[in-house]
C-alpha cells in the first residue's frame, strides 16, 4: 500500500513536471496579447479547425483568413496612407501641370491648406486619384509606389508607414500561417498599391492581396512587348458589399476567419459568418488614445470620418458573438519597434 | 599497375550501374508524351526554373503556370461544354416558361433545331446565358452545375465531360505542381462553372480558377444571413486581352508558363512572354482527326468557329520561339481512359 501510494505520488509529480516542461516548451504564439477573451477566441479557433477529428476541422488547402488593412493591420489616422501618397504625388507632378496652382482641388493641396482639404468631396478625391494613379503602365506605377513608401514618414512617429503595423496582428497572421492558413489582405485601398509592400511588411504575397482595382488595358510598347496600362476606370470597389463579393470572386467562397475594424468591413464579417458556426469574426476597436488613437463612434468613442466604427456594427458584433478587440486592454504592445 | 587498372574498371562499371539504376528509378514525369521538342521544352523549363543557382531560377512561392481550359485541357468540339449545359438548362426550365415554345432563341433550342442554333448571334447566346446562369444565389448555381456535370455525357465518347481531359496535360500540371508551381486555369468559360469540378478533374482549387465572371450582389436571405446573388451583369470577360488583364488582377504579374490553343489565348501568351526570356509559352494544335479533332485554320487545318487557331498566331509562335504541340505527333495517348 505504502509503496503503491509513493508510486502514485511519484507518477503524479512526474506528470506535473512533464506537463510543466511541455507548457514551457510550447512558446506563446501571441506574446503581444494580454490573456482575455479575444486571445482565447483566436487560439480556440485555430485549435478547433486544425485538429483532425474535430467537427470544425478544415482541410489544409481550404484554410483562409482575410484581413482588412487600414485600421486593422496598420494605422489609418490621421489620414489613409494611400491618400497621403496621392497628395505627395500632386506636389511632385505639379511642375508638369502649371494650371494646378490655380485649379481646385490641386490648388488647396499645393497650398497645404488643411482646412480646405478636410472639406474635399468624393469628386475632388477622385480627380486627385485620377491625376496620380492612372495613365501609366502597371510596372511604372509599382516603381513609383515603391520609391515613395521607402522614403515617406508617418508625421506622428517619424517612421516609415510600413513600420506602423500592429505587432499583435502580425502575430495572428504568423500563427494562422503556421497552422496552414493562407492570410489574405482584403482592403478598400488600391490592390496595386498594397501589393508593392505586402510581402515584406505582412508576409502576404501579391496574389493574396484583394483590393480596389482599376481596369487595366492590354497593349504593346514600342518594342512590341505586351504591357498593361492603367486607364481611369474603376473595375472593383473593394469596400462594404464589395469586400464580400470580391472574396467570392477571388476565393470562390467565404474564409473561415475575418478581421476588420470599420463599417466597410461589415459585409466581409457577415459573409464569413455565413460560412458556418465555427467561423471567427473579429473587430479591432481603437480605444487607446495614448498609445495610438481612440475613435468610434461605437462604445462612446469620438466619431471619426476615417475608419468609422458605428455603434450599429458594435451592437451586431455583440449580438452575433463576434469578438471586439480592445487595443487598450487586449494588446500589450502596439508596434514592432516598441519594447 | 594491373591491380589499379582492375580497380578503375570496377569503379567505372559501378558508376555505370549506379547511373543506370538512377535513370531507372527516376520515373518519366510525362509518360504520355512522345520524345520531341515539346516534351523537351517542358522538362528544360522546369529544370532551369527550379534549380538553385540557375539564372532562370524562380523562388518556390512565385512559381505560376496558367492553362486555358477549352481545347487546352479538355475537348471543346463540337461545342463548348458550358454551352451544352446552357442549352440543357433551357430544356429543363421550359416548363416554367411556356412562352419559350414560340419565342426565339428558346424556340430553336426546344425544337432541337441544330441548323437554327448554328446561326445564333451573340445576342441570342447572351439571352440564353441570362436565362440559365443568373437570378439565383451563388450556392444555388453551384448545386445546379454539380448535378448537371455528374450526369451529362459527351455525345461522341458517351462519357462524362470531366473524362474528356487530355492525359498529357494532366501530366504537365502534376509535374509542375510537384516542382512547386501553382497551376491556374485561365478560361473564357465561367469561373463559377469551372470551379465546381476543377479540383476533382484537374487538381486545381477554386481560388486558382480565373474565368469570365458575373458581378455578384451581396444581400440577405429571409433568415438574415449573408448571400450573394447572380445578377445579369458581366464583370470580367476573361478572353483575349482580358486573360492578360485578369492574370494581373489575380496574380499581380505574369506567370512563368502559359498553355493555350486558340486566338483567345494570344494575349495571355504574349503577357507571359513579357515576363522574361526563360518563360515557357505553348499552344496545343488540334491536328488529330482520328483520335480527337483537327481544326485551325493554322497550318492548313480546317477552319473552326470553336477554338479558332489562326495562321497569324501560328506564325507568331514560330517567330517568337513558342512551342506548338502537335496532338498527333507529341501525344502518345489523348485521354486518361485510353490504354
Peptide bond before residue B58 is cis, with ω within 30 degrees of 0: no
Cα A8 to Cα B216: distance, rounded to the nearest angstrom: 64
- With an 8 Å Cβ cutoff, the interface of chain B facing chain A consists of 61-62, 64, 138, 191-192, 195, 205-207, 209, 213, 215-218, 225-228, 235-236, 241, 244-245, 248-253, 267, 270-271, 273-274
Higher pLDDT residue, B63 or B4? B63
For residue B59, the surrounding DSSP H or E stretch is: none
Q: Model confidence over B229-240: pLDDT tens digits?
A: 999 999 999 999
DSSP conformational letter for A159: S
Cα A261 to Cα A323: distance, rounded to the nearest angstrom: 11
Q: Model confidence over A293-321: pLDDT tens digits?
A: 999 999 999 999 999 999 999 999 999 99
pLDDT at B4 over 70: no
Q: Which chain B residues have a beta carbon less than 8 Å from that of A273? A: 225-226
Cα A125 to Cα B147: distance, rounded to the nearest angstrom: 48
Q: Model confidence over A153-181: pLDDT tens digits?
A: 999 999 999 999 999 999 999 999 999 99
- Nearest residue of B to residue A272 by CA position? B226
Does the pTM surpass 0.90? The reply is yes
A216 with B61: Cβ contact below 8 A: no
Mean pLDDT for all residues in chain B: 94
CA angle A63, A68, A72 (to 5 degrees): 115
pLDDT over 70 percentage in chain B: 93
CA angle A219, B216, A320 (to 5 degrees): 135
**Any idea which residue has 502514485 for its cell?**
A8
CA angle A305, A246, B131 (to 5 degrees): 125
Chain A: give the shortest CA distance to residue B175, in Å. Answer: 19
Q: What is the pLDDT of residue B77?
A: 97
Q: Model confidence over B42-76: pLDDT tens digits?
A: 999 999 999 999 999 999 999 999 999 999 999 99
C-alpha cell at B275: 515576363
pLDDT at B293 over 60: yes
- Nearest residue of B to residue A193 by CA position? B252
Q: Which of A61, A218, A244 sits opposite B228 (nearest CB)?
A: A244
* pLDDT band at residue A290 using 50, 70 and 90 as cut-offs: very high
A245 with B205: Cβ contact below 8 A: no
Alpha helix ranges (H) inside chain A: 2-25, 37-50, 81-93, 106-110, 114-118, 122-133, 138-151, 167-178, 191-195, 198-202, 241-251, 266-273, 311-320, 327-330
Q: Which of A215, A236, A271 sits opposite B226 (nearest CB)?
A: A271
A274 with B225: Cβ contact below 8 A: yes
C-alpha cell at B174: 502534376
Q: What is the pLDDT of residue B339?
A: 75
C-alpha cell at B192: 463559377
Best A249, A266, A267, A279 residue to mutate vs chain B (most B CBs within 10 Å) = A249
B218 with A62: Cβ contact below 8 A: no
Q: Model confidence over B87-140: pLDDT tens digits?
A: 999 999 999 999 999 999 999 999 999 999 999 999 999 999 999 999 999 999
Cα A41 to Cα B199: distance, rounded to the nearest angstrom: 31
Q: What is the pLDDT of residue A2?
A: 47
- With an 8 Å Cβ cutoff, the interface of chain A facing chain B consists of 61-62, 64, 138, 191-192, 195, 205-207, 209, 213, 215-218, 225-228, 235-236, 241, 244-245, 248-253, 267, 270-271, 273-274
Peptide bond before residue B67 is cis, with ω within 30 degrees of 0: no
For residue B81, the surrounding DSSP H or E stretch is: helix B81-93
Q: What size, in residues, is chain A?
A: 339
Q: Which of A191, A209, A244 sits opposite B226 (nearest CB)?
A: A244
CB distance A161 to A152 below 8 Å: yes
CA angle A263, A264, A265 (to 5 degrees): 90
Q: Which chain B residues have a beta carbon less than 8 Å from that of A248? A: 138, 216, 228
Q: Provide the terminal-to-terminal Cα distance of chain B, rounded to the nearest Å.
A: 56
Q: ipTM of the predicted structure? A: 0.93
CB pairs under 8 A between A and B: 88
> Residue B64: beta bridge partners?
B182
pLDDT at B1 over 50: no
Q: What is the pLDDT of residue B26?
A: 78
Cα B94 to Cα B139: distance, rounded to the nearest angstrom: 22
Q: Which residues neighbour A158 within 8 Å (Cβ) at sequence distance 6 or greater? A: none
Q: What is the pLDDT of residue B164?
A: 98
Q: Which residues neighbour B236 within 8 Å (Cβ) at sequence distance 6 or greater? A: A249, B191, B211, B212, B213, B242, B246, B249
Amino acid at each position: 500500500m505504502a509503496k503503491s501510494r509513493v508510486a502514485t505520488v511519484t507518477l503524479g509529480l512526474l506528470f506535473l513536471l512533464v506537463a510543466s516542461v511541455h507548457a514551457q516548451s510550447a512558446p506563446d504564439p501571441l506574446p503581444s496579447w494580454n490573456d482575455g477573451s479575444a486571445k482565447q477566441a483566436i487560439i480556440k479557433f485555430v485549435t478547433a479547425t486544425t485538429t483532425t477529428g474535430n467537427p470544425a476541422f478544415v482541410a489544409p488547402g481550404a484554410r483562409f483568413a482575410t484581413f482588412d488593412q487600414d485600421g486593422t493591420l496598420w494605422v489609418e489616422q490621421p489620414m489613409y496612407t494611400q491618400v497621403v501618397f496621392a497628395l505627395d504625388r500632386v506636389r511632385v507632378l505639379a511642375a508638369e501641370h502649371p494650371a494646378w496652382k490655380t485649379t481646385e482641388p490641386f490648388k488647396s493641396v499645393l497650398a497645404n491648406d488643411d482646412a480646405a482639404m478636410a472639406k474635399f468631396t468624393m469628386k475632388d478625391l477622385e480627380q486627385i486619384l485620377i491625376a496620380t494613379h492612372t495613365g501609366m503602365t502597371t510596372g511604372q506605377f509599382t516603381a513609383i509606389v515603391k520609391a515613395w513608401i521607402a522614403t515617406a514618414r508617418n508625421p506622428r512617429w517619424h517612421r516609415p508607414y510600413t513600420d506602423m503595423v500592429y505587432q499583435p496582428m502580425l502575430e495572428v497572421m504568423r500563427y494562422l500561417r503556421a497552422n496552414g492558413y493562407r492570410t489574405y489582405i482584403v482592403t478598400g485601398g488600391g490592390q496595386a498599391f498594397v501589393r508593392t509592400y505586402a510581402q515584406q511588411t505582412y508576409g502576404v504575397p501579391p496574389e493574396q492581396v484583394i483590393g480596389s482595382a482599376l481596369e487595366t488595358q492590354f497593349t504593346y510598347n514600342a518594342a512590341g512587348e505586351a504591357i498593361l496600362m492603367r486607364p481611369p476606370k474603376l473595375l472593383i470597389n473593394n469596400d462594404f458589399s464589395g469586400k464580400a463579393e470580391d472574396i467570392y470572386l477571388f476565393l470562390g467562397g467565404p474564409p473561415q476567419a475575418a478581421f476588420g475594424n470599420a463599417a466597410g468591413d461589415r459585409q466581409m464579417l457577415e459573409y464569413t459568418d455565413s460560412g458556418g458556426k465555427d467561423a471567427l469574426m473579429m473587430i479591432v476597436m481603437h480605444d487607446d488614445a495614448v498609445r495610438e488613437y481612440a475613435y468610434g463612434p461605437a462604445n462612446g468613442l469620438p466619431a471619426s470620418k476615417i475608419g468609422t466604427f458605428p455603434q450599429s456594427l458594435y451592437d451586431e458584433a455583440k449580438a452575433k458573438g463576434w469578438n471586439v478587440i480592445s487595443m487598450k486592454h487586449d494588446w500589450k504592445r502596439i508596434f514592432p519597434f516598441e519594447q
